[in-house]
Amino acid sequence: MKLYIDYENVSRKGLEGITRLTAEDSVRIYYSGNIEVLSVPKTKALVVACRLPDVIKKMNFPNALDIVLLNDIYRVIDGLNGDRMYVITKDKGFDAVIGSINEHLRYRTVWRCTSIFEASMMDQSIRKDQMAARRLKSAPPAPDASKPAPAPVVMSQPAPAAVSAPMPEQRYKCRIDQAVLEDVIMRTVPEFFLLCDAFVEAIAPAETYQDAYRRLRARYDRDIADRFMAAAKPCLRFVSAS
């Protein structure tokens, strides 16, 4: 994935998660001359620092840095080949331009996030959804319901022995104390706080702790699922649905 960092807006907070990136990722960090030294954590990704040229800065254009960032996106947008772009900024003014780009491409390719970590989680979820869609598309077609089914072969068999009716399956519903959960997340794994709503959405339909963990693993990697469940387990209750 390609990440475009509005450093003037998010500062070092926007770089959280950069150590998770791979050599297939690229990062462009946009900043003005007000920053003398730009310190970037060690990462496998290709990192390019893009300092606002003095000639543009002297023109005193409003939002000059944003214009340079978006211009770089427009220059490469047609050659993405399915890769996704993430603009790392808290500035919601980007949303209208990003929406226009995605409308031009006829599919969503550019996203806005507030940190590299949030972008990584979103990209992982998108990849899993795409893989599931490809598996569904490659599945064999369902049998044609318009064609009559072959007549079954009836063979005489002894009457089955009487059996007792099975007990109804006990089902449970997950109860989540949202306020307590958010407090625990903030105190134990604060880097997951922005994803708290997404976690709750994932585990809300669960019927057991094991089911909740399985649902998290379907969206996130093992490390994230393990750390979240360790923090959230005291906040979850499973009560009878009957």
- pLDDT tens column, 201-211: 777 777 777 88
Q: What's the start-to-end Cα distance of the chain, in Å? A: 46
CA 209 – CA 220 distance, rounded (Å): 16
pLDDT of residue 52: 76
Tens of pLDDT, residue by residue over 79-132, are 666 678 899 999 888 888 888 877 777 667 888 999 999 999 888 888 787 777
| Orientation of helix 196-203 relative to helix 178-188, angle to 10° | 130
User: Does the structure show a pLDDT above 60 at 46?
Assistant: yes
CATH fold, domain 2-129, is: Rossmann fold (3.40.50)
pLDDT of residue 131: 77
Answer positive or negative: Cα dihedral of 7, 8, 14, 16: positive
Domain coordinates of the chain in residue numbers?
2-129, 172-240
181 SS3 class: helix
Token pair listed for 160: 């089955």
Integer angstrom CA distances of residue 237 from 188, 212, 224, 242 = 20, 11, 21, 15
User: Does the structure show a pLDDT above 60 at 146?
Assistant: yes
User: Does the structure show a pLDDT above 90 at 138?
Assistant: no
144 SS3 class: coil
pLDDT of residue 242: 45
If you search the block for the tokens 């649905």, which residue do you land on? 241
pLDDT of residue 169: 47
Q: Are 111 and 28 in contact (CB under 8 A)?
A: no
Long-range contacts of 199-203 (CB under 8 A, 24+ apart): 199/228, 199/232, 200/176, 203/174, 203/176, 203/232, 203/236
